[in-house]
Structure 1
Amino acid sequence: MKKWKGSLLLAICLLAMASSMTVCAAGETILKGVSIDKLDVSGMTREEALAALESYEKNLGGQSIKLGIGDNVIEAKLSDLGVTFDNEDLVDEAIGVGHAGNIVKRYKDQKDLQHSGKTFPLSWQTNEDTVRTYVENNCTKYDKKAQNASLTRENGAFNFVAGTEGLELNVDSAVRTISDYLENSWTSDNTEVLNLEIQVTEPEGSAEELANIKDLLGSFTTSFSTSGSNRCKNVSSGASHINGTVLYPGEEFSAYETVSPFTEANGYAMAGSYLNGEVVDSMGGGICQVSTTLYNAVLRAELNVTERSPHSMTVHYVDLSEDAAIAGTYKDFKFVNSTEYPIYIEGYTTSDKKITFNIYGKETRDKNRTISFESQMVSETPATTILQEDAGQGIGYKAVSSKGSSGYVAELYKIVKVNGVETDRIKVNKSTYKGTNRVVTYGTAGDPTLSENLRAAIAAQDEALADANIAAAVPAQ
């Protein structure tokens, strides 16, 4: 009898529970006490919870994490790091609490909610490419290049300047650290600083090593005495940018990178330079005399030249094939310190408008060995005369607007002598220079017959015939 009464009581209780559960499920709302991360979704329908979660995730994307880069701390937004959320299933799970499963499970879930609630943690992931882009654009700016030990030269004496350490962010490690932290450790209330791996780079050079710089390895001087004030300024600025450079064994020097940018702020002015075979004003005009003078000092120091280009036309301050042009990034003068010791480059201009470069290092060459350089012209192409008319000038008018210049092919040779006897003749380079046209203009206004004859001579590009037509026309006027 007691057993029968107990079974009846249990059935009644279960029936009551079932009635209660059915009412809750029919409402299709999330039960009270359910949260997703810190978002309370109690009483929401599936659509309402999805909308609320989307807004919540958007706000989370605007939150930041703190990144420690050496002594610097920056804040990076989650949205800038490519953090994405994939939590639509969480809403379904939230709705299922107290609604899904058998009667016993539903009852247990509801009781648990009443006592302690239930929170579903958000899950998110990062995009590695986006993190890498952020790190490269925002974190590497704090990198500090090591400053190698160097020298200054005053009153003919060298003074040692100690180097400083460099700091460089390990990009690969930073990407891994940030991604792992966000995907596995970060919470919306986390304010800790995430320190990224920094690598220390040691400077090159010591006082003992730089003490080897004491011998003059190569020197060269050119004159810019015919230059105007702006060109003089450019030559002087270029020399000062290069002056004091220390190159360690194996290091490459770029003239363009060292003297640029060509701006007023960097000490330059507008002056004449070559462009497509013509002389035009440009910012920094005359800088090629700087690179040319240095080129010749480098040749005499017998360092390894890795890039050199001739001018499009000849220059007046050195012989053929002794020049070295720089223009934009497509023409540069580069060389490598191919010795076993550091070298020092001294560059300066003087009041009598001369520029000099001296290259110092440790002399290891045979004292009985000497070198010299010789320019040899391979061929010359005389200037072409171009005849043209000016219908606004009368017959008899003749003007030479451009005298023209020859084009050349030339070679530069290094001559090696030991004890005064030539032992080697080495071709250093072969250079081609364009010529410019000689332009002659004739007036053709006047007698129609004479004009027609003169135009025919111009069309034939026959200067002698054109001159004869002028000679015949002048007495008749």
Structure 2
Amino acid sequence: MDKNRARRIRQRRNRKIAYGSLLLAALLTIGILYSFANSKKSKDSDSKEIIAETKDKDEDLDKALVSARLGKTNLSGLTVKEAKDTIEERFQWGMTVTDGTESVVIDDVISGQLKEVLEKLSETPADRPQDYQLDYPLIKEAFEKQAEVLAKRWNKDGVSSEVEAFDPKTGVYSYTKEQNGRVLNQEKLVSQLLDAAEAENFQAEITAEFTPQVPERTQAQAKEQYKVIGTFTTKTTTNKNRNQNISLAVQAINGMILKPGEEFSFNNTTGNRTKEKGYRPAGAYRNGVLIEEPGGGVCQVSTTLYHAIIEGGFKTTERNSHSFAPSYVEKGQDAMVSFDGYAGPDLKFVNTGSASVVLRASLEGTTLKISVVGIPVLEDGVKVVIRSEKVKDSDPLPVTYEENTALPYGTEKVVDKGTLGGYYKSYRLLEKGGTVIKEEPLHNSSYKSKPEVIQRNTTLKPEETVPETPEESESSSVPAKDQGETHEAEEIGPGVTGPGNS
């Protein structure tokens, strides 16, 4: 009995839960359907409003503008659509500038402003007065910037006349023809562009105006202004081989043109000094030993040129001193060169002037002369000189003794007094009216010492002397000849290390 009752109670409870769930589901469904219906109604309402607004706007576009103007263009009586078409047609950009040879389209400087005007036309009721003006001060600023760009593109500097060639055979110089330059009249161009814009002529083609720029120097003036700005002379010896080498180096240099900013290289100009090129063996020092090799003597050419370069107001970018001081120039003022076809000590300088220069070189007898011909780079009345001073002596070397049995027994003869090397500092002095106005360090030099050479006879006494045959007597004169050549090479002041030294 109790069990049946409990079962019936559970059944009634389960039915209540089921009915409740069904009721809740029904309520939720009704809520969702209600919300959807309201949402759809709202959307339909919004759509109707948008359609209405669009219709209104379309109707506005078709309405005639009562009073509307953009600059000089009257838009009154036109619909908004017609007004927009008129603006796009009348204000279409295509302004160009020509320099006579090319035309450049100017960047559109009004498109941003026109966009704002078109938007206002659409937003403003057709029955309201509308008067729009372009911002010409802003347009002018844009034109000024573009004029600066065109100036950089079209401006040309005047080109002055300068020497372009020299004929060593005739001694005649050739000069380039001067060229006029031009400067864009930017202020005038901006004014022309602005006038066209204010006239609403945005398809205008404007011819730019230029101010001629006369070059600093005409061809006739160049012929008068070119002069010898640096020159130096040294004396050679009568050694034929050595002078032949000097002559070949002179021929390679004479008439060379060096443009502004161009660097001169002695080694590149003469090339490798070899016997195949006609250079003959002459005295030169290699590792402190006097030898005969092709090209001996050309260092006198580089040294002479070096002085002409300095006197002309230029500075060297490479200069080297000899191992042993030469005698054809003051100590501390030589310029040694050496070249093996690939590398070696060189003499270099850059033409820092504004015009080309010509190098002139000649060897007449024993007179070696080299000059720099150009437009003066120094102030009028200013000249450059080199001053050198010894800092200290090099360590002396012990005397070298040589046996010479041709000398009386027990006697000595000095055949080479030797030289004492040293360290030198050189300075570049600018003088005007005999007064030094500037002094600056130029370079340093160091020279080795050469030992004194004494010949003596300490081995063969007079009673041991054997009468010489005529042939022996003739051959005995050979050392004396050798001594003479060695002395000559020493007196010349040979260079050091490598082919082509002097």
Name which one, 1 or 2, has greater alpha-carbon Rg.
2
Greater length-normalized contact order (CA 8 Å, ≥ 6 residues apart): 2
Please, what TM-score do these two structures have when normalized by structure 1? 0.48
Please, what TM-score do these two structures have when normalized by structure 2? 0.46
Going by fraction, where is strand more abundant, 1 or 2?
A: 1
